Amino acid sequence: MFKHELNYGDVYLVPRKTVVDSRKQCDTSVQFGPRRFDMPLYASNMKSVVDAETCEYFARHGWFYTMHRFNVDTVGFVRDMQQKGLFASISIGVNDDTLEQLAALQAAGLTPEYITLDVANAWCVKAERMIRHVKSQFPGSFLIGGNIATAEAARELEAWGCDAIKAGIAGGRVCITKNKTGFHRPMISTVRDCAAAVSVPVIADGGIVEHGDVAKALACGASMVMAGSLFAGYDESAGEIVEINGKHYKEYFGSASQFNKGEYKNVEGKKILVEYKGSMARLLVELKEDLQSSVSYAGGATLAALREVEMIVV
């Protein structure tokens, strides 16, 4: 009667014969839009995770990034990044203020390399209008649309013109959408369905708890993975440091939280404290090492091997 669906914690990947002599030989790089990145993983476009400095940090380390869209001087951000010889990757909404930001970019003669349409449910008429607008006004930008959670929605976003689609609804650590609205779909099922339905890249967004979840998302057909809490506790993360009884934490809050919105209206996110962990440099190295190891267990030397593995339900 009910469809049984799966999350990252419900499945494991079955090992194949390793064909490399060292995990170092495994290549984790990914072509995403006009650029190649060192890892198929990036930090959520949330105000508590990234700011302009975090974005620069990721870009300089060869990682993809997307700036959040809350009270950002978009023209200044794009100009700064491009003047530094880095790519510009911004987020937009679906309301009139976004049309104004886009017009300001055009007036300044600026084209961001990447634009992410960021709404809770992008399978909606407002998102369709904005996607079509961006595609007509910024044909040189790579447009990511999200979020959605079904094959049908993914197909529609592809038809509207999205160059990549972000999948994942209500699976995030600071999400309360599932509690407040009753809607959610587990990530393994979401990513498998969406990736199988479209030919554009799919980004698996939210719910990464263990590093191995990244490999599981890629095995389901994701081309990229987005994570918030994973990147939230570090010096380079945008959230504020808080000290309680001599122990340090960092704030991590949802984009639809009262804290981010400044009012209690349509709140679907919360604020939490995550353990403060110091510099992010070691995390980036470890994430890469772990994914290289995943690729070796998958029996290959590139990320493509992960799409060949068998997945089991435990």
Ligand X SMILES: Nc1nc2c(ncn2[C@@H]2O[C@H](COP(=O)(O)O)[C@@H](O)[C@H]2O)c(=O)[nH]1
Ligand Y SMILES: NC(=O)C1=CN([C@@H]2O[C@H](COP(=O)(O)OP(=O)(O)OC[C@H]3O[C@@H](n4cnc5c(N)ncnc54)[C@H](OP(=O)(O)O)[C@@H]3O)[C@@H](O)[C@H]2O)C=CC1
Q: Which residues are catalytic?
A: 175
Detail the residues annotated as belonging to a binding site for NADP(+): 202-225
Is 48 among the residues that bind ligand Y (CB under 6 A)?
A: no
**Which residue stretch of 99-107, 169-177, 195-203, 290-298 sits at the interface with ligand Y (rule: CB under 6 A)?**
169-177
Tell me how far, at minimum, the Cβ of 58 lies from ligand X, in Å: 15
Phi, psi of 243 (to 5 degrees): -110, 125
Residue whose C-alpha is closest to residue 145's, from 168, 123, 162: 162
> What part of residues 249-268 is at the interface with ligand Y (CB under 6 A)?
255-256, 266, 268
Judged by CB under 6 A, the chain residues 125 through 154 that form the site for ligand X are 147
Q: Which residue's CB is nearer to ligand X, number 44 or number 141?
A: 44
Judged by CB, which is closer to ligand X: 151, or 267? Answer: 267
Instruction: Considering the complex, state which of residue 18 and residue 258 has its C-beta at the smaller distance from ligand X.
Output: 258
d(CA 149, CA 107): 35
118, interface contact from ligand X, ligand Y, none, CB < 5-8 Å by kind: ligand Y
Q: Which listed residue (33, 40, 112, 172) binds ligand X by CB under 6 A?
A: 172
Among 96-104, 130-138, 174-182, 281-289, which window interacts with ligand X (CB under 6 A)? 174-182
Q: Residue 227 binds which entry of ligand Y, ligand X, none, with Cβ cut-offs from 5 to 8 Å by kind?
A: ligand X
Question: CA nearest 125: which of 157, 77, 163, 165?
Answer: 157
Q: Which of 52, 37, 97, 47 is nearest to 68 (CA)?
A: 47
Q: Please count the other Cβ atoms lying within 10 Å of the Cβ belonging to residue 145.
A: 31
Neighbours of 127 (CB within 10 A): 24
Q: Tell me whether residue 168 or residue 300 sits nearer to ligand X (CB atom).
A: 168
Strands 89-92 and 114-118: parallel
Q: Does 221 participate in binding ligand X (rule CB under 6 A)? A: no
DSSP 98-161: HHHHHHHHHHTT---SEEEEE-S--SSHHHHHHHHHHHHH-TTSEEEEEEE-SHHHHHHHHHHT
115 contacts 143 by C-beta, under 8 angstroms: yes
Residue 233 sits in the site that holds ligand Y (CB under 6 A): no
CA separation for the pair 265, 101 (Å, rounded): 24
Q: Which residues of the shown chain bind ligand Y in the complex (CB under 6 A)?
A: 93-95, 118-121, 126, 147, 168-170, 172, 175, 177, 206, 255-256, 266, 268
